[in-house]
Every structure is written in structure tokens, then in C-alpha cells.
Chain A
Amino acid sequence: MHAMTDISTLHYLVLGAALFLLGVIGVLTRRNVVIVLMSIELILNAVNLNLVAFSRYWQSIHGPSALHGQVFAIFVITDAAAEAAVGLGILIAFFRNKETVNVDEVNLLKW
């Protein structure tokens, strides 16, 4: 059906899953807030890669103007910009109050 060297949609999905997992590990294990935010960017990029790969597959079925996945990717990038701006603003306010960038020292709501 296809040669082994062909790069299919599944290849991109597996790469996206690997990046997503790296981002999840970073969010769950790191203490530095800046690196946690960067891990969130990794997760968003993994999703974007999947969306663009699906967009190409969708184009091959529904014709070249079916670019919905790429439009979604652009919206995700917009969200990432908004999230980074607000998140880093919160980080600056947090650092001004607590003089630390460690997430496990934000435990006001902890039981």
C-alpha cells in the first residue's frame, strides 16, 4: 500500500503525543513557574502539530480549500499569546508579593 519511508499523519500524531507527554511531565514535576508556563506552551504546540497534520489529511479528502485545521491552529496560537501575557503578569505580581517563583509555595488554598 505504501512504502515504509512515507511520512503519514500517524507519524505526526505520535510526535505530537511525545511532545504532549513531555509538557505534562514538566507541568506536574517542575517547581519553577516560568518553566511550568513553558511546558504549557509545549502542550499547546503538540496540539497545534496534530491540528495541522489533520488539516492536511482533511484536505486530501475534501479538497484543497478545507483548511479548518490550520485556522484552528491559528486560534490556538492566539490563545497561547493571551495565556502567556496574563500568566506572566500573574507571575510578576506573585514574585512581587512572595519573592519566590516556586509553585509549591503557593499553598494558600491547601487543606
Chain B
Amino acid sequence: MNPQIAGNPPVATPYFFYGLAAIMIIGGILVITRKNAVHSALALITTLLAQAALYLMLYAPFVAGVQIILYAGGIMVLFLFVIMLISIERAEKERQFNKQWLVGIAAAAALGGLFITVYTATTKGRVLFPEGRTSYVDMQNTQGIANLLFDQHGGTYMFAFEIASLLLLVAIIGAVVMAKKRI
């Protein structure tokens, strides 16, 4: 099927994409530049919520919900609790960037150059990645994901799902052991 066929109209105008992208970039810059770790966490939450909205634009409502509940609601609360446990007053007065920041910026610039090279590379006059708008797909999104994860006949990722539960168990034990005063 041709990926560039015009399907139904997009769920939001392109201006929403650019607005959300701007929110995400500004939030990301604030995350890595703020002195106070709490401010960084709040900027990161803003970025995550804008990304959830982008998931909705990509017709992925289940991933958007998981993003809000698990990331913005779970992981970031964990971060904020840990920030409260450790003292941030002294860390705010200290030097914020380490001595090899110049090397770090150079490495990131090299990586950015790699991204630009890949994204602008052409084969037979076409870029490697699709440029056109993808067509609208009409399906129960959550049901489709559940079919891939749980279906006993065609559940492609059932084994990976079980392994993920094992990973979470190991992470729980690891976190408890690490945070315990005496084992």
C-alpha cells in the first residue's frame, strides 16, 4: 500500500505539532540548565506531558495514557521524593557543570552531525526516511496492543511481557536493597 495516500484529515493542525515541539525543546533545555533539581523535574514533567499530546497526534492513545500515568505520575513523583530526601541547598551553591563540559559539548555536536548526515542522506534522489503524511488508520488501538501482548495464539510479545515482569521484580528487590541502611 502506498504510505503517502491521503487518508482522513489529521487529528490536529500542524501548528499543534510545532507548538508542542517548542514546548518539548524548551522544557528539555530547562531540564539540563536549571540549578534547582526541583525546577528541572517540573520542566521534565512539562516535556513528558507535551510528548503525550504528540502521541495522541500519532494515533497512539494507549501509549499517551501510559506516558501520563506512569511517567509523569509515577517516575517523576519518585524523582521528587528522592530530591526531597537528599539535600539540594548545598548542591545549588556548587559548580553545576563538570570539568569536561567542553568535551561533552563536542561529543554531542559530533552526534548531532551524525543525525543531520543520516536524515539528509539521499538514495536515488529520495531521503531515507518517509517525508509524506501517513494515512489515518482506523482501529481499536488498545485492543491491537493487547492482541500483540496477550493473545494466546498470535501474542508475539507474550514472552517478552513475562520477562518484563521479571525485570520489574528484580528492580523492586534491587531498589529495596540499595536504599536499605543495613542489609
CA distance A28 to B108 in the complex (A): 9
Name B's interface SS.
helix
From B40, B54, B105, B168, A38 is in contact (CB under 8 Å) with: B40
List, in ascending order, chain B residues with CB within 8 A of A57's CB.
3, 130, 134
From A29, A32, A59, A85, B171 is in contact (CB under 8 Å) with: A85
Which of A13, A39, A42: most chain B CB closer than 10 A?
A: A42
A-contacting residues, B133-152, CB 8 Å = 133-135, 137-139, 141, 144-145, 147-149
From B21, B60, B85, B135, A55 is in contact (CB under 8 Å) with: B60
Judge if A108 is at the interface, Cβ distance under 8 Å.
no
Q: Least Cβ distance of B128 to chain A in Å?
A: 9
From B44, B66, B97, B141, A77 is in contact (CB under 8 Å) with: B66
> How many of chain B's residues have a CB under 8 angstroms from any CB in A?
96
From B55, B60, B94, B170, A31 is in contact (CB under 8 Å) with: B94
Judge if B46 is at the interface, Cβ distance under 8 Å.
no
A67 with B144: CB separation less than 8 A: yes
CA distance A50 to B175 in the complex (A): 29
User: Which residues of A are at the interface with B, using a C-beta cutoff of 8 A?
Assistant: 1-2, 5-15, 17-26, 28-32, 34-35, 37-39, 41-42, 45, 48-49, 52-53, 55-57, 59-61, 63-65, 67-68, 70-71, 73-75, 77-86, 88-93, 95-96, 100-104
Instruction: Write 22 A-B pairs (CB below 8 A) sorted by A numbering.
Output: A2-B133, A8-B134, A10-B127, A19-B25, A21-B112, A22-B25, A22-B31, A28-B108, A31-B98, A32-B37, A34-B41, A34-B82, A38-B31, A52-B63, A68-B156, A74-B62, A80-B75, A82-B168, A85-B175, A89-B179, A100-B91, A103-B98
For the complex of A and B, the 5 pairs showing the least CB-CB separation, nearest first, are: A28-B104, A89-B178, A82-B171, A26-B32, A64-B139
